[in-house]
Structure 1
Amino acid sequence: MKKFLLALITLLAFANVNAQIVKPVKWTSKVEKISDTEFNLIMEATIEKDWHVYSQFTPENGPLPAEFTFENAKGNFELLGKTKESPYKKQYNDVFEVDEYYFEKKATFTQKIKIKNPKLTSIKAKIDFQVCKDVCINEFNTFTFQLPKIEASTLNLPVSNTDTAVVDTTQIAPAAVKTTAVAEAFEPKQAEDKGLWAIFFLAFLGGFAALLTPCVFPMIPMTVSFFTKQSKNPAQGKRNAILYGISIIAIYVVLGLAITGIFGADALNALSTNAWFNVFFFLLLVVFAVSFLGAFEIMLPNSWANKVDKQADRGGIVGILFMALALAIVSFSCTGPIVGTLLVESASKGGIAPIVGMLGFSSALALPFMLFAMFPSWMNSLPKSGGWLNTVKVSLGFLELALAFKFLSNADLVLQLHLVEREVFLAIWIAIFGTWALYLLGKITTPHDSPLTHISVGRLSLGLLVLAFTVYMIPGLFGAPLKLISAFPPPQTYSESPMGFFGNSSENKQDLPDGAKIGEHGIITFTDYEKGFAYAKRVNKPIMLDFTGFACVNCRKMEINVWSDEKVLNHLKNDVVLISLYVDDKRELPKNEQFISKSTGSEIVTIGDKWTDFVITRYKTNTQPYYVITDLNEQKLNEPISYTPDVKEYLAWLKDGIGKFKK
């Protein structure tokens, strides 16, 4: 009885949500005067409890970020800088496997402008955004900012720093035509970011790896010997060693500060989600990898090292600082690629991540120099330099090369070029790690390797581990999920064979109906309503409309956790015609198909706009996911439902709709 009441309450709750257009965000706007020609356009959102709106900075392949557009900027006004936003929260999303940035309760966006046309009386702007709770809604809001009268003579005056004055506020206006406006955050005090600890730990491992390269490791005994021999007493030697370690840390942290200061706390994060910068990072890491593999060395000018070395002879604190700088310059051919990779990775996180990354890296690099100088007897346990150092360097080269293709894959996914689909990516990784395994097992050598008469137990163990990982990836070519590396390759749906190489031949592309594709779990899916409806009539099956979104978190949860159930999947494959309509599809409709919505008065420009208007007009809701089962006369067979993580409940709803169609 208790379960029945709970199910009834849940259904009533869904019915209540679906009975109306959900509007969990309310917007206000205002204009602030900065000078006679410059203004701030301010847009403020009030968000209902438990709902959240995504920031402009949520990375690619994650939930839908907010996007601003401004109408008729050319010749009328200039956007000064990028749209700024109030502090946001940050949390890892295990569905999309990216960090997501979002607002709760309130959000403020500010765009600074400069007027060029004195006759301009108003500016129209639009925000497209996603707001989520148990369901996700793709929304937009338009604003009209009324401007005070502007004297033509003031347009050439220099900017003044007058006090800010508030002008009239105004609300919603007709939809704006798109012009690009990129976003930038204020310096937000974000919620504590556990990701920074992960960056520190990975950077620390990177510093330890750099320590085990031919450029750095041999310098440990040399440096320790210098401090023990040049110091007047052991205490002074230990003090100098500590100063030396602190100097190493300071040099690399300053580098992290410089990167953050030059590019801004979040600018590199924004760049890292750009397709062309992902291509740049790919090329950069390939250069680093080829250098580690022995093709050439990346070195700073010798004159730098000579000048710094002379300064190191001065002694005292200044001399120790220059000794640390000399280490950084001389070892750059080994540390440079690692530092570059760490900066690329940490920059993708934004904020102070580059500083944290350099702190972790330099701490691992400096710690052995300090400890061995403080306890010289430990030197006896230190392994001797030899060919194993080059093995470490070459191994880092293989890892750099593998990581490089992740950035190329990101760019390909953003541009939807389908050049690096899942099979291609996995084939490349199998080749890289397979070659690395052969190298570790002594079957191939690189230019700087010493003659190899035998391999150590440690090298053999690592070689077997890499070989096992290579073998593990091979089934991925045939459709295996590869959960251990799920964050790296493209998703299963972004592949040549979504069903795997040995998928059912009846589901191969040549056998698909017109307008259909292989969707999640091998379900034949239509993304065109008319073609899907025509096919349903031909095969005499009910239609299941799936109002979804590329960036809809709960849509992915339903597909992964509910649709994968054997009984649910059997019905979706055999008893209904699935039509998935993506409300966040940003591709523009042909001009002759664009229209003004009769329901909302909004301009329908994109495919996503079309399906949003469709679900609002026909079903009086705008939530995703939203599932509707209809007959061949487009009439509902039962009440539609939204996010339903309970498999039994979803299966019962599915059976009910299919059963009513057969009656």
Structure 2
Amino acid sequence: MKSKLILLTILSFLSFQLFSQIYDPVSWSVEKKVTGKTTADLIIKATIEKGWHLYGLNIPPDGPVATRISVENLENAKKEGLLQAKSKLIEAFDPNFNMKLNWYANEAVFVQKVTSPDPNAIYAKILVNFMVCNDESCLPPTEEELEVGKSGMKAVEIKEETPLIASAVAAKDSVLKPDSALLVPPAVTDSTAKADLWTPVIDQLRTFGENASGGGMPSLWWIFIMGMLGGFVALFTPCVWPIIPMTVSFFLKRSENKARGRRDAATYGLAIILIYVGLGLLITVIFGASALNSLSTNALFNLIFFALLVIFAISFFGAFEITLPASWSTKMDMKADSTAGILSILFMAFTLVLVSFSCTGPIIGTLLVQASVSGSILAPAVGMLGFAIALAIPFSLFAFFPTLLKSMPKSGGWLNRVKVVLAFLELALALKFFSVADLAYGWGLLDRETFLALWIVIFALLGFYLIGKLRFRHDDETKHTSVIGLFLGIISLAFSVYMVPGLWGAPLKAVSAFSPPVITQDFNLYENDVHAKFTDYELGMNYAASVNKPVVVDFTGFGCVNCRKMEVAVWTDPQVSNLLNNDYVLISLYVDDKTPLKEPYEITENGRTRKIKTIGDKWSYLQRYKFGANAQPFYVMLDNQGKPMAKSYAFDENPANFVKWLERK
């Protein structure tokens, strides 16, 4: 029942996220607190959704937009001192900007002290400029207006995006539903065609089967599947595989009948699942989802995990053995012997968890780190659920079909070879964690070509090991190479050869998620051949009409990491670059472009007045108003009249999918 409840919760989360396109992860409020006869505090509070963070007041010039709070209008009072930040700042490495930054998670509270002859008569109008990000992407800088006065607090949310529409009211739904009446500002009244280009097409996009907007964060289903794969890998380790036949035989022999033995074995498998899921929940309770998110990009944490993976790898190579204290498993064995029923089975499951730790520890640790970046409080438990199900399946399966035990491969030297293969993989993965720390402190020790050189050597050595050209002290001496070993060796050696061009700047899409960014490459012969012809929507659409070509509108940002990934991993594909350069007019609109508009204007959205001040405001509002989305990267395919030709496209590093989208298949 508990497993069904967890799976149902996962499905609910996934179905909710499928249609969620407009992100509004921060809500602001202001209140006035009278502290004395002539004094009061203006308390400005930001409530931040889990997985997102709000940047602090002091941010480096080349970083994101810092939070700025200013009192625009203050009646019957005067400010006393400077604005004070009351919430604790988190300082950590931010992958969106490749630097160490400070931010707030969960909530941020700021206080401005004021003096007044009559604190009850104070009126204040406060303007907040801010930017929020998660571990994968950022939303455009946003502006919000707050008011507090005698009649009570009145919040007017002002976000920085801006369109050509002077007045457009959208519903509070997750997808904008704009008003049918559109008022065009003076700048475009000379051409109804320009106004038509801004006409919302949200409903038309839905008819194509609209995608969820891109976030790039791992879904709960993906974490569950990766957990299962980790569990299946753990099965074939020397710490787990030999235990399977012994445990199943024990349950079948100790019971008076086979039915009870099968029931006990199934209960044993369920106990394993409960223990590992409990471990995932415990980690979340101890750290919290937001703390796990911070840990995943924290330089010190990544260095520690790098060291642990290297130590585990050395152990798997046979230098030494890592085990938990023998007294722990002995006590669990004694408890299992001295108790009966389900409690006895539970203690036996605990014993398996402890005994197998030296093999399962690195797999579980890696899984939990990857789960932590999902932004979901359920992620560690979901990952452990997948891992435990895969680990528990054989114990129940062989109990119901004991004849399968006879065909089960016997323990032997092949189990040690599995450990050595895992050691190579752990060593390669360790470099990924070191890379995060290296980027955080700017050491420059592990640039892209150094990382690739190490991976090339590691996977080449793994290939030679698999075909029998390299041996470690615990390996059995073999006179021939197995067929499986040969094919796996070929794959590993081929992977090494595949990475060689990366030393000269080739994009290497298969390893882009692990390797340092291309900007760290010192020697790069590669050139990106895809460049947007226009960075202005109207100009680009006019040109497309003149040459009678369809349009791809690319909503991007200067600080958008996933946008850069798409440009390197997808746009460089020959088919993609050919289609974008020859068959379409590519228009890139930067939603964080801070160039001021010559004539700022106001619009009404969600019942609130919003100021359009910059070019980035304009394009960001266009994305929300016309297409009902606000995350980047975001791609839409239009005809030269501004009407959609296919569903939108978000972050996906598979060029084949992008080609299918461009070819409208």
Q: TM-score, normalised by structure 2?
A: 0.58
Aligned to 2:559: 550
Residue identity matched to 2:131: D
Verify: 1:30 aligned to 2:29, yes or no.
yes
- Please state how far the C-alpha of 1:77 moved relative to its aligned partner: 4.6
Aligned to 2:540: none
Residue identity matched to 1:442: G
Q: Deviations over 1:291-311 (max 9, x none)?
A: 322233332221111111110
- Pick the aligned partner of 1:79 from 86, 90, 94: 86
1:318-467 matched pairs, under 5 angstroms: 318-351=343-376, 352-413=378-439, 417-467=443-493
Q: Could you say if the C-alpha distance between residues 111 and 204 of structure 1 is closer, same or farther in structure 2, counting changes exceeding 3 Å?
A: closer
> Is this contact kept in 2: 1:267–1:350, CA < 8 A?
no
- Pick the aligned partner of 1:238 from 262, 285, 296: 262
- Please state how far the C-alpha of 1:622 moved relative to its aligned partner: 6.8
- Please state how far the C-alpha of 1:463 moved relative to its aligned partner: 1.1
Residue identity matched to 1:266: S
Name the CA distance, whole Å, in 1 between partners of 2:260 and 2:139: 66
Q: Could you say if the C-alpha distance between residues 28 and 223 of structure 1 is closer, same or farther in structure 2, counting changes exceeding 3 Å?
A: closer
Residue identity matched to 1:225: S
- Structure 1 runs not aligned, ≥5 long: 1-23, 46-52, 84-95, 97-108, 149-164, 174-187, 501-518, 524-546, 571-579, 587-595, 601-611, 626-641, 650-663
Name the CA distance, whole Å, in 1 between partners of 2:324 and 2:32: 50
Q: Could you say if the C-alpha distance between residues 468 and 391 of structure 1 is closer, same or farther in structure 2, counting changes exceeding 3 Å?
A: same
Name the CA distance, whole Å, in 1 between partners of 2:47 and 2:243: 57
- Please state how far the C-alpha of 1:370 moved relative to its aligned partner: 1.2
Name the CA distance, whole Å, in 2 between partners of 1:58 and 1:275: 19
Q: Could you say if the C-alpha distance between residues 239 and 561 of structure 1 is closer, same or farther in structure 2, counting changes exceeding 3 Å?
A: closer
Residue identity matched to 2:44: L
Name the CA distance, whole Å, in 1 between partners of 2:296 and 2:44: 27
Aligned to 1:250: 274
Aligned to 1:200: 224
1:326 is paired with a residue whose SS is: helix
Name the CA distance, whole Å, in 2 between partners of 1:490 and 1:310: 50
Q: Could you say if the C-alpha distance between residues 170 and 359 of structure 1 is closer, same or farther in structure 2, counting changes exceeding 3 Å?
A: closer
Q: TM-score, normalised by structure 1?
A: 0.58
- Please state how far the C-alpha of 1:569 moved relative to its aligned partner: 8.6
2:44 is paired with a residue whose SS is: strand
- Please state how far the C-alpha of 1:168 moved relative to its aligned partner: 5.5
- Pick the aligned partner of 2:283 from 240, 245, 259: 259
- Please state how far the C-alpha of 1:461 moved relative to its aligned partner: 1.6
- Pick the aligned partner of 1:139 from 97, 116, 141: 141
> Is this contact kept in 1: 2:224–2:386, CA < 8 A?
yes
Name the CA distance, whole Å, in 2 between partners of 1:428 and 1:198: 28
> Is this contact kept in 2: 1:555–1:643, CA < 8 A?
no
Residue identity matched to 2:259: A
**Greater mean deviation of Cα atoms: 200-209 or 242-251:** 200-209
Aligned to 2:318: 294
Name the CA distance, whole Å, in 2 between partners of 1:549 and 1:206: 37
Name the CA distance, whole Å, in 2 between partners of 1:138 and 1:346: 26
Residue identity matched to 1:126: N
Name the CA distance, whole Å, in 2 between partners of 1:295 and 1:453: 24
1:258-657 matched pairs, under 5 angstroms: 258-313=282-337, 314-351=339-376, 352-413=378-439, 417-500=443-526, 520-521=528-529, 549-551=558-560, 561=571
> Is this contact kept in 2: 1:282–1:407, CA < 8 A?
yes
- Please state how far the C-alpha of 1:400 moved relative to its aligned partner: 1.6
Aligned to 1:15: none
Residue identity matched to 1:468: A
Q: Deviations over 1:141-162 (max 9, x none)?
A: 36677699xxxxxxxxxxxxxx
Verify: 1:126 aligned to 2:126, yes or no.
no
Residue identity matched to 1:344: V
Name the CA distance, whole Å, in 1 between partners of 2:593 and 2:251: 64
Q: Could you say if the C-alpha distance between residues 258 and 557 of structure 1 is closer, same or farther in structure 2, counting changes exceeding 3 Å?
A: closer
- Please state how far the C-alpha of 1:422 moved relative to its aligned partner: 2.1
Name the CA distance, whole Å, in 2 between partners of 1:647 and 1:54: 38
Name the CA distance, whole Å, in 2 between partners of 1:231 and 1:339: 33
> Is this contact kept in 2: 1:205–1:364, CA < 8 A?
yes
Q: Could you say if the C-alpha distance between residues 230 and 426 of structure 1 is closer, same or farther in structure 2, counting changes exceeding 3 Å?
A: same
- Please state how far the C-alpha of 1:384 moved relative to its aligned partner: 0.6
Q: Deviations over 1:238-257 (max 9, x none)?
A: 01001100001111000000
Q: Could you say if the C-alpha distance between residues 38 and 199 of structure 1 is closer, same or farther in structure 2, counting changes exceeding 3 Å?
A: farther
Q: Deviations over 1:6-30 (max 9, x none)?
A: xxxxxxxxxxxxxxxxxx99x9953
1:216 is paired with a residue whose SS is: coil
Q: Deviations over 1:393-429 (max 9, x none)?
A: 1111211221222223334445555432221121111
- Pick the aligned partner of 1:209 from 213, 223, 233: 233
**Greater mean deviation of Cα atoms: 398-407 or 336-345:** 398-407
Q: Could you say if the C-alpha distance between residues 40 and 382 of structure 1 is closer, same or farther in structure 2, counting changes exceeding 3 Å?
A: farther
> Is this contact kept in 1: 2:53–2:132, CA < 8 A?
no
Residue identity matched to 2:362: P
Residue identity matched to 1:550: G
Q: Deviations over 1:167-188 (max 9, x none)?
A: 4657889xxxxxxxxxxxxxx9
| Aligned length in residues | 470
Residue identity matched to 1:331: S
- Please state how far the C-alpha of 1:201 moved relative to its aligned partner: 1.4
Q: Could you say if the C-alpha distance between residues 311 and 495 of structure 1 is closer, same or farther in structure 2, counting changes exceeding 3 Å?
A: same
1:266 is paired with a residue whose SS is: helix
Name the CA distance, whole Å, in 2 between partners of 1:75 and 1:127: 18
Q: Could you say if the C-alpha distance between residues 223 and 28 of structure 1 is closer, same or farther in structure 2, counting changes exceeding 3 Å?
A: closer
Name the CA distance, whole Å, in 1 between partners of 2:139 and 2:468: 56
Q: Could you say if the C-alpha distance between residues 81 and 465 of structure 1 is closer, same or farther in structure 2, counting changes exceeding 3 Å?
A: same
Aligned to 1:99: none
Aligned to 1:41: 44
Q: Could you say if the C-alpha distance between residues 128 and 194 of structure 1 is closer, same or farther in structure 2, counting changes exceeding 3 Å?
A: closer
1:385 is paired with a residue whose SS is: coil
Q: Could you say if the C-alpha distance between residues 555 and 380 of structure 1 is closer, same or farther in structure 2, counting changes exceeding 3 Å?
A: closer
> Is this contact kept in 2: 1:31–1:166, CA < 8 A?
no
Name the CA distance, whole Å, in 2 between partners of 1:394 and 1:415: 32
Name the CA distance, whole Å, in 1 between partners of 2:354 and 2:106: 43
- Please state how far the C-alpha of 1:286 moved relative to its aligned partner: 2.5
% identity of equivalent residues: 44
Name the CA distance, whole Å, in 2 between partners of 1:443 and 1:230: 46
- Please state how far the C-alpha of 1:196 moved relative to its aligned partner: 1.5
Residue identity matched to 1:480: A
Q: Could you say if the C-alpha distance between residues 256 and 301 of structure 1 is closer, same or farther in structure 2, counting changes exceeding 3 Å?
A: same
Residue identity matched to 2:381: I
> Is this contact kept in 1: 2:127–2:143, CA < 8 A?
no
2:396 is paired with a residue whose SS is: helix
Q: Could you say if the C-alpha distance between residues 38 and 316 of structure 1 is closer, same or farther in structure 2, counting changes exceeding 3 Å?
A: farther
- Pick the aligned partner of 2:52 from 52, 56, 79: 56
